[in-house]
Structure 1
Amino acid sequence: MTDIPDVTFVIAAYNSAGTVVRAIDSALAQKGVAVEVVVVDDASTDDTREVVAAIADPRVRLVALPRNSGPGGARNAGLEIARGHWVAILDSDDTVEPDRLARLIARATRAGAQIAVDNLEVVAADGSRTRMFAEAELERQTLLTLPAFIASNVLFRSEHNFGYMKPVFARSFLVEHGLRFDQSLSIGEDYILLASALARGGRCVVEPVAGYVYHVREGSISRVLRKHHVEAMILSDQRFVVDHSLGPAATAAQRRRTRSLNEAYSFLSLVEHLKNGALARALRTAIADPAALRHLRMPIAARLRRLVRGGRAARRAGASAAGSTISGRGPHSSKG
């Protein structure tokens, strides 16, 4: 391939032999744009590599990592060899509508934007479909700003989490600002990348029509929010604040997000102590952060709905007493 494609799809795949071809086919079926698909196999233990290698289309390139690097590492490996003017992240068990990239690129070009996001179509296991966001709501928000994005990612309180959107980036913007996924995160790496891009002055347009299709799979609850996940997110947010100059509105939103992460950590600590019968430790945690008690009093199902309001994992997992699901459904499906 010598011509530079309009779009590079980066698909991080781990044990995705049963779904990755569907994802690749949807990317190759884009209308009105030239595409390449980079599939990064993150040391799968199933036949993912062989399935992808058997695809004869020259637009598909396979990168086989020698060891598991996690979602951020796998996607970064794809970004390193991406050639397209635009880069789109596609989870290995999702699909995209045929006109998605042409529509997003056209909207971004008209607005002089470097980033574009759109609505999501959620396909349940029974085939039923719902929209993650009301189109009327997104029509009113033609641009996604940093304060609005951070505010939508405040745990427990956000009505609409824009972190579930799948952004499309101008590759030159990512290169210019040295932006990559945070490989220290197994949950929330998507959030930090888009927040960093917005903080670096990226202009992000919002397309109300759903072009990304999220496929719910029954019985998958592989991304449960644990204390070490929250701790990593807190540290990543701290680096984000140090590395970027935030305006007053973004700073206020970040304070609310930080408080929510601290509350989540306290809540998970409290649940852990109660499960282990460590009542004294549970009491100390409750005294130190009374908000943890408030979340504990909520029924489990309601608490999960608050954690992932409108989110993908709640639709997939339902209630789980073991922990609180935050986003995504596997090592390479994530939302911040």
Structure 2
Amino acid sequence: MVKTFCSQPVEITDVYPDVSVIIAAYNAEHTIGRAIRSALDQDGVSVEVIVVDDKSSDGTTAVARSFSQPNIKVLQLAKNAGPGHARNVAVDAARGRWIAVLDADDEMSPDRLSTMLKRAENAGAVIAVDNIGVIDNGNGKSYQMFPTSRLEELGKITLPMFIASNLVFGSTFNYGYMKPVFRRDFVQDSHLRYDENLRIGEDYLFLASMLASGGECIVEPAAGYSYHVHAGSISRTLKHHHVSSMIEADALFLSRFQFDSQAKSAQARRTRNLEEVRNFLILVDHIKRGSVHNIVKMAFDDPAAFRFLYMPIGVRIKRLIPSFMSRNPFPKHGRTKQQSGV
């Protein structure tokens, strides 16, 4: 049946709404209401909103349950299990023909879902992504994540270009930030799940798995999703054990799917990038602890890890180096160029 999209909110009139908006939430009492309202206020499509509270210690569940609309479902997990598990619970509970992912601290414009569904269904695609409006909560400034002309020219996102875009510290933003809208039956038939072992990077791997399963991903150049940037950046929160988990998850991803030469090449670059980032974060820990032996060992084992010192986190770490050197000077003789460059 061809769905007709109108310009006003549509109530759910049958068991299967057009879109299930899934929100995994953890300690989001100050933002979850805004996210839910933006999902409920969608024009031209029927929606259900599924909030999964990942054992928050604040009032997230209370705020979510304060909404009286019949098309919202709030589930509270018995223990904190991470965003991957929370999203899997939401996907399992979803009834919509399409599923849209929304973070608990973000929001959508009222015409976002109708615009994306029209574009996807006209193209026969099972995945749609769109541009992102970035809102810096620190300074109040806002801007568009990707130039509209770039996404208009792109048209679709393939597996090789998606993998190639997702290099940690490679750029400020990449395609992994895009929040997909995807066909529920496609995910079910392809037996796809979020990786519950990942605390960071589960979104990337899920979309990559959809692409690797043959899903066509269409791009809407307009920005219908608003991404709120907070004080805690990835350079402050990313730890080397997170990256180790990403490397392990990528290895399983490689073993599960068949890749063409372009995707294999892109994945090889990503794997090396993750290894360098992991070693850089280990280096940061060594510098903070003043471990001369381990810093010197890192210089020999993976000197490429030192190149990330140009990043904002690297600038902060460089400030530690003078005091570190005064407490732990290298010997006057025998230093390599890499060691001298630190």
Q: Distance in 1 between matches of 2:64 and 2:136?
A: 25
User: Which residue of structure 2 aligns with residue 196 of structure 1?
Assistant: 209
Distance of aligned partners of 1:249 and 1:303 in 2 relative to their CA distance in 1, 3 Å threshold: farther
* 1:85-164 superposed matches below 5 A: 85-125=97-137, 126-158=139-171, 161-164=174-177
By how many angstroms is 1:166 displaced?
Answer: 0.5
Task: Give the match's secondary structure for 1:88.
Answer: strand
Q: Kindly indicate whether the alpha-carbon contact (under 8 Å) linking 2:131 and 2:224 is maintained by their aligned counterparts in 1.
A: yes
Distance of aligned partners of 1:321 and 1:29 in 2 relative to their CA distance in 1, 3 Å threshold: farther
User: Which residue of structure 1 aligns with residue 312 of structure 2?
Assistant: 301
2:244 aligned to 224, 231, 234, which one? 231
> 4+ runs of 1 displaced by more than 3 Å?
156-160, 219-223, 319-322
User: Which residue of structure 1 aligns with residue 275 of structure 2?
Assistant: 262
Q: Distance in 1 between matches of 2:247 and 2:232?
A: 26
User: Which residue of structure 2 aligns with residue 310 of structure 1?
Assistant: none
By how many angstroms is 1:266 displaced?
Answer: 1.2
CA deviation vs aligned residue, 1:148-169 (integer Å, no higher than 9, x gap): 0000012343575100111111
Letter of the 1:191 partner, please give it. Answer: Y
CA deviation vs aligned residue, 1:268-325 (integer Å, no higher than 9, x gap): 11111121111111111121111012223x2x42858xxxxxxxxxxxxxx6889xxx
Distance of aligned partners of 1:230 and 1:196 in 2 relative to their CA distance in 1, 3 Å threshold: same
Q: Kindly indicate whether the alpha-carbon contact (under 8 Å) linking 2:35 and 2:108 is maintained by their aligned counterparts in 1.
A: yes
Superposed CA RMSD: 1.9
The higher relative CO (CA closer than 8 Å, separation ≥ 6) is in 1
Q: Distance in 2 between matches of 1:14 and 1:25?
A: 17
User: Which residue of structure 2 aligns with residue 13 of structure 1?
Assistant: 25
User: Which residue of structure 2 aligns with residue 69 of structure 1?
Assistant: 81
Q: Kindly indicate whether the alpha-carbon contact (under 8 Å) linking 1:11 and 1:38 is maintained by their aligned counterparts in 2.
A: yes
Letter of the 1:197 partner, please give it. Answer: M
How many correspondences in the alignment? Answer: 305
Please say if 1:242 is aligned against 2:255: yes
Distance of aligned partners of 1:242 and 1:230 in 2 relative to their CA distance in 1, 3 Å threshold: same
Q: Kindly indicate whether the alpha-carbon contact (under 8 Å) linking 2:145 and 2:173 is maintained by their aligned counterparts in 1.
A: no
Distance of aligned partners of 1:23 and 1:247 in 2 relative to their CA distance in 1, 3 Å threshold: same
User: Which residue of structure 2 aligns with residue 187 of structure 1?
Assistant: 200
User: Which residue of structure 2 aligns with residue 292 of structure 1?
Assistant: 305
* Structure with the greater alpha carbon radius of gyration: 2
Q: Kindly indicate whether the alpha-carbon contact (under 8 Å) linking 1:36 and 1:84 is maintained by their aligned counterparts in 2.
A: yes
Task: Give the match's secondary structure for 1:202.
Answer: coil
The 10-residue stretch of structure 1 (284-293 or 236-245) with the greater mean CA deviation from structure 2 = 284-293
Distance of aligned partners of 1:201 and 1:49 in 2 relative to their CA distance in 1, 3 Å threshold: same
TM-score (norm 2): 0.85
Percent of aligned pairs sharing the same letter? 48
Q: Distance in 1 between matches of 2:232 and 2:282?
A: 24
By how many angstroms is 1:173 displaced?
Answer: 0.6
TM-score (norm 1): 0.87
Gaps of 5+ in 1: 305-318, 323-336
User: Which residue of structure 2 aligns with residue 30 of structure 1?
Assistant: 42
Q: Kindly indicate whether the alpha-carbon contact (under 8 Å) linking 1:143 and 1:206 is maintained by their aligned counterparts in 2.
A: yes
Q: Kindly indicate whether the alpha-carbon contact (under 8 Å) linking 1:270 and 1:286 is maintained by their aligned counterparts in 2.
A: no
By how many angstroms is 1:3 displaced?
Answer: 2.8
Letter of the 1:258 partner, please give it. Answer: T
User: Which residue of structure 2 aligns with residue 332 of structure 1?
Assistant: none
User: Which residue of structure 1 aligns with residue 7 of structure 2?
Assistant: none
User: Which residue of structure 2 aligns with residue 331 of structure 1?
Assistant: none
Task: Give the match's secondary structure for 2:74.
Answer: strand
